Amino acid sequence: MTLLRSNLNIKEIIIDSPIYTKWDYNIDNGQNIIPRMSSLTSIIEEFKDRVELYCVKCNERRIFAPDEGVYKDTATVKNIHFKNIPIIGNKECLYKTYMCSFSEDHKYIFGFYVDDEKVIKIAEYPSKYDSIKENFNLYNKIIGDEKVSELAKASQLESFGYAIASFLYYRRIFEYLVILKFKEYKCENKIDEDKYSHLKMKDKIDYIKEDLPEYFTNTSNIYSTLSNGIHNLNETECKKDLSVIRLIIIEILDELLEIKNRVIRKENLKNELNTINSKK
Ligand SMILES: [Zn+2]
């Protein structure tokens, strides 16, 4: 079945879609008034909309504008010996490139290949992982760089449709947070970490309950949902629950971050006050 042009979301095809997604090459553009616009590659070429993306070089969200035309090789190469070659006519393989509004050297590149009446997305740079990871860097203060990477991977796997694998990363992050809170927890006759790590999750949570933020405790049954997903649910079932799981994990992290920032703010104010008093 040929896709109707009106049903296509070109931005989603070029930018948001995971690598190796396939679409029909031939597009029914209604009355076929403009024959050259009846292929998906021409539509990708003609797509002129600017898009907002995370620029990994600016470390900020920027507006990106598409370069004119599409190319046989990767980005628009600024070198007289290796000029980029625009493609005219049939395109078996093409690259659509975008330029950051801050600098023309900051690029996004998306590659497509035509095979058996299908257009396949074959390349993307920077990767979704690179741009996603930056979004989670603010949690570095709480969970460190390694776990920030895992958070980004969970999100990337979700965008690839690998819901079970994504569940696994979220569960690891949850487990890590519980151990982290246990390490910070102060009480008399505290059990050692090895003994604690062998407790059931419910008992672990109970043990440090009074030190956990309210939201964390209220949603701690997320762990059984995650475990159930990993062991008993299929990809489609996990996919259904995934956005809620992600939002809960982010909410827990936001709450912990706010607490941490409050402690830092109070500490700074105390130090400033001490400085003022010492001058008297
Ligand atoms: Zn930039």
Ligand 1 centre distance from Cα of residue 98 (Å): 11
The amino acid at 264: I
Residue pair 44/112 in contact (Cβ under 8 Å)? The answer is yes
pLDDT tens digits, residue range 204-238? 888 988 888 887 778 778 888 888 888 888 888 88
pLDDT score, position 261? 92
Ligand 1 centre distance from Cα of residue 101 (Å): 7
Say if residue 73's pLDDT is above 80.
Answer: no
pLDDT tens digits, residue range 95-129? 999 999 999 889 999 999 988 889 999 989 988 77
Residues comprising the chain, all counted: 280
Ligand 1 centre distance from Cα of residue 66 (Å): 14
Ligand 1 centre distance from Cα of residue 10 (Å): 23
Question: What phi, psi does 175 have (nearest 5°)?
Answer: -60, -40
Q: Which range, of 15-19, 166-170, 189-193, 204-208, averages the lowest pLDDT?
A: 15-19
Ligand 1 centre distance from Cα of residue 133 (Å): 16
Average pLDDT of the residues in 252-271? 91
Average pLDDT of the residues in 254-277? 91
pLDDT tens digits, residue range 38-62? 788 888 888 999 999 888 888 788 9
H/E stretch holding 276 reads helix 235-279
Report CA torsion sign: 245, 130, 168, 192. Answer: negative
Which residues are 125's β-sheet partners?
109
